[in-house]
Amino acid sequence: LAKTTQPISMDSYEGQEVNITCSHNNIATNDYITWYQQFPSQGPRFIIQGYKTKVTNEVASLFIPADRKSSTLSLPRVSLSDTAVYYCLVGPYQAGTALIFGKGTTLSVSS
């Protein structure tokens, strides 16, 4: 499985756009990029998944350059409730496959 590197922590203010970049230099051809969010004492929550270019949903956008060696999760106009740990996962994403979580990025949003 591809190793991922993401910042340990980030700070932001309410209303700002937050971009969290994840490096995955040895991503394989059949790997997808997936982001999860976790609040204290809760289970990880799926945010977004992509393979290449750009994916957008109601919560976030995911930007993936052509070489796929990195990806950026973009959270528009964050609020205090976006304070959480964000995990970047890279893998073949077949049904039944284990998800391998790293330490993630702890995002702290202040007013």
Partner 1 sequence: EPEVTQTPSHQVTQMGQEVILRCVPISNHLYFYWYRQILGQKVEFLVSFYNNEISEKSEIFDDQFSVERPDGSNFTLKIRSTKLEDSAMYFCASSDLANQPQHFGDGTRLSIL
Task: State phi, psi for 96 to the nearest 5 degrees.
Answer: 95, -5
Strands 9-13 and 105-110: parallel
Question: In the set 10, 59, 83, 101, which binds partner 1 (CB under 8 A)?
Answer: 101
Round to whole Å and give the CA distance between 45 and 108.
17
Task: Using the rule CB under 8 A, give the single segment among 4-12, 20-28, 43-51, 58-66 that binds partner 1.
Answer: 43-51
φ, ψ (nearest 5 deg) of residue 2: -70, 135
CA 36, distance to chain mean position in Å, is 6
Name residues contacting partner 1, limited to 66-95 (CB under 8 A): 87, 93-95
Tokens representing 90?
């890279």
Contact between 106 and partner 1 per CB under 8 A: no
Residue 99, interface with partner 1 (CB under 8 A)?
Answer: yes
- From candidates 21, 23, 38, 61, binder to partner 1 by CB under 8 A: 38
In this chain, which of 9, 16, 19, 97 binds partner 1, going by CB under 8 A?
97
Contact positions vs partner 1 (CB under 8 A): 34, 38, 41-46, 49, 87, 93-103
